[in-house]
Amino acid sequence: MLAERLTDELRALGSPERALSERAYLKSSYVHLGSSVPGVRSVAKAHVRSSRSTHDDVVALVDELWDTDVYERRLLGVELIIATPKLWGVDDLPWIERLVRNCHTWALVDGLATTAVGRIAAADPAALDVLETWVGSDDMWVRRTSVLGLRDLCKAGREWDRFERAADVLLAEREFFIRKALGWVSRETGRRHPELVSRWVRANLHRMNGVTIREAVKYLPDGPDLLAAWKHR
């Protein structure tokens, strides 16, 4: 079977030492083979180059890879989605949402969110409406994806208003990974569009938490002043 052959390739790239250290670093409940991210990515790219997989072929393969508790198999599924960007559209978001709900770690969520979902959102405005519904999801990882899916658009100076609407809901979150996502997107946007982020931080200073604001102000010319104002608010 294809999934088992690919798993054998992942296993051959792994080491017990890496498996132990990665499991500890991620505080993971998965079984780890000890394959590196570049190694898993190389297996995904090699498979894509050597096959002529259709959309349904990749969906079936990813589902089979995810029907397991082996971390690298699931990571391979993520990398296969990332390596086949032309296959995916807004109609695939419910399937991707199901994967996100079953990730249980940022290390699997973030590639799906920033790259797979981000590409769909950049190509089809209908996906942006789906992301808005995800802001209110009962699942923390789906809420994180609702923000990270906007990352590259916001970096390009697009859809910042959508980020602000999401943040208006999510700034009240106590979940670290939501707070970090808000900080991550605002930090990356602030590199190119500091005026957008500075205005947003200043308007929400009283609602900011430490995780979000320290990321958000990192590249802002007035970042030190904003951070000082937050500390003395």
The alpha carbon of residue 93 and the mean position of all alpha carbons in its chain are separated, in whole angstroms, by 14
Of residues 178, 179, 177, 183, the one with CA closest to residue 201: 183
Split at pLDDT 50, 70, 90, the class of 62 is very high
Domain 106-233 has CATH 1.25.10.90: yes
200 vs 181: CA distance, rounded Å: 15
Apex 63 CA angle, 58 and 68, nearest 5: 135
Q: What percent of the chain has pLDDT over 70?
A: 100
58 contacts 80 by C-beta, under 8 angstroms:
yes
pLDDT in tens, 123-174: 999 999 999 999 999 999 999 999 999 999 999 999 999 999 999 999 999 9
- pLDDT (0 to 100) of residue 1: 87
With 0.85 as the threshold, say if the pTM is over it. yes
pLDDT in tens, 2-51: 999 999 999 999 999 999 999 999 999 999 999 999 999 999 999 999 99
Of residues 155, 49, 66, 164, the one with CA closest to residue 112: 66
- pLDDT (0 to 100) of residue 179: 98
Split at pLDDT 50, 70, 90, the class of 206 is very high
- pLDDT (0 to 100) of residue 30: 97
Of residues 174, 126, 170, 123, the one with CA closest to residue 148: 170
What residue ranges do the domains of the chain occupy? 1-87, 106-233
Residue 224 confidence (pLDDT) above 90 = yes
| Domain pair 1-87 / 106-233, same fold | yes
Residue 97 confidence (pLDDT) above 90 = yes
CATH class of 1-87: mainly alpha
